[in-house]
A and B are shown apart, each in its own frame.
Chain A
Amino acid sequence: MSEHHLSTPLSGEDIRMLEAGDVVFLSGIIYSARDKAHAMIRKAGSPVSLEGAALYHCGPLIQEGRVLSAGPTTSGRMARYTEEMLEKGLRAIIGKGGLPPEPFRDRAVYLAYPGGCGAAAARKLEVLTVHLSELGMAESLWTFRAKDFGPLIVAIDSKGRDLYQEARE
């Protein structure tokens, strides 16, 4: 179990060195997207490039451009989009509760941020811009600048290990 401080965009090399159980602190650009943004991206494409990107399953609480609380939402609801989102070049999906591990193999990781810890997350995230704002606060695609955002637990690594599955067995 080692600790890594990484910055976006993430490379294939960054991803390969991460092992299930490692802890990551992430800096740089992070995009938020949940139910409606995923449906829109499927329909009309992504308004931002997701090459090497980190996507956060999060519906933040924002007031006047300031992040007030921004913990993760349940990733399972977005499971149906995992394959097509990873095909766009995503290197990391951040969320809670996990996803089927197979699509992550050899290209990406799933990072778990402690659920419910929105106030702590807010101190590490700053709003840069917003896309799909017609979807409303929780459902928009927010662009955050992260500074040492974490602890993010490598819950699914690129070699097929899945901590959720291991805990259930």
Chain B
Amino acid sequence: MREQVVEATVRALQKAETGLPEWVLQRIRDAAARERLPLARQHLQFMLENVAIAGQDRLPLCQDTGLPIFQVRMGRELKLDFDLHEAIADGVRMATKLVPLRPNAVHPQSRCNSQDNTGLRMPDIIMDYVAGRSLSITAFPKGAGSENMSLIAMLNPADDPFDFIIESVRERAANACPPLFLGIGLGGSFDLSARLAKHALLDMDGKQEDEEEQALLDRINRLGIGPMGLGGDTTALGLRIERAYCHTASLPVAINFQCWANRKAKEVIL
């Protein structure tokens, strides 16, 4: 079983780095068909062309092959007789050579690079427990351009969180490789809001946004930031809100930015 986890990790990374989920490509295509600004339309078409080249050449579509983040869905009845984190870390080391991945993981102070994309608490593994005995692993390599623009704010309950989101996107979108996918965490505590925002990105699967999400997405697209921040109708391609109850005196809001290259690939082990 350990060997299967290592191999699934390598396969998930290989797939995530060299292509995009079909629903992501479809959203880019749809946006290209709608976009009115020629420069913006050309950008969207070039992005699609780049994904096609990455597929043909079997190469990472972006040189920022990201920080290794994984979502593991594991059945509550399943017992593993090995260290899951170590097995996934072995897969990351192997993928670094095979795909290959750019060595990105460094110590936060010495900035010393481990050369294999692992290190203290890296890979980051987000565990979700489900019924039964199943096991799946989703690679979600996260580039720094979009992750660096992400933020948490502890708002006053009297503030409008959507206004805050709009202003944050206006200021930050250009650096995050738009058109964006936005994971929003509303409520909870300081750190729970951030986890909700990451989960919103992880669980985004191309399903139509609900009414409130769509209204916020439309407001963002009316900003005119456009692909790569150079103007246009297409600033964001997807948005999902995850909520948790919060303290009556608090309003935590987290925005996890994701670039247009919304890389994600799942491997089912059991």
Contact = CB atoms under 8 A, between A and B. Distances in A.
Contact of B260 (A36, A73, A76, A116): A116
Contacts of A18: none
**Which of A117, A151, A164 lies at the interface centre, i.e. has the most chain B CB atoms within 10 A of its CB?**
A117
B230 A115 contact: no
Interface size class of B (residues with CB under 8 A): 35 or more
B229 interface: yes
B50 interface: yes
B32 interface: no
A167 B60 contact: no
Contact of B60 (A61, A137, A153): A61
Contact of A119 (B57, B171, B232): B57
A115 B225 contact: no
Interface in B31-65: 38-39, 42-43, 46-47, 49-51, 53-54, 57, 59-65
Interface size class of A (residues with CB under 8 A): 35 or more
A153 B49 contact: no
A117 B145 contact: no
Contacts of A36: 111
Contacts of B115: 136
Given A115-B145, A115-B177, A59 B102 contact: yes
A21 interface: yes
Contact of A138 (B39, B49, B104, B148): B104
Contacts, number: 139
A120 interface: yes
B228 A122 contact: no
A93 B111 CA distance: 25
A70 B174 contact: no
By secondary structure, the A interface counts as mixed
Interface string A4-41: 00000000000000000100000000000000100000
**Which of A36, A69, A120, A163 lies at the interface centre, i.e. has the most chain B CB atoms within 10 A of its CB?**
A69
B226 interface: yes
B61 A63 contact: no
Contact of A155 (B102, B170, B175, B230): B230
Nearest to A68: B59
A91 interface: no
A114 interface: yes
A101 interface: no
Contact of A120 (B49, B145, B174, B177): B49
B161 interface: no
B174 A164 contact: yes
B75 interface: no
Interface string B142-161: 01110010000000000000
A5 B104 CA distance: 34
A69 B50 CA distance: 10
Interface of A: 1, 21, 36, 58-61, 63, 68-71, 73-74, 76, 96-98, 112, 114-123, 136-138, 151, 153, 155, 163-164, 166-168
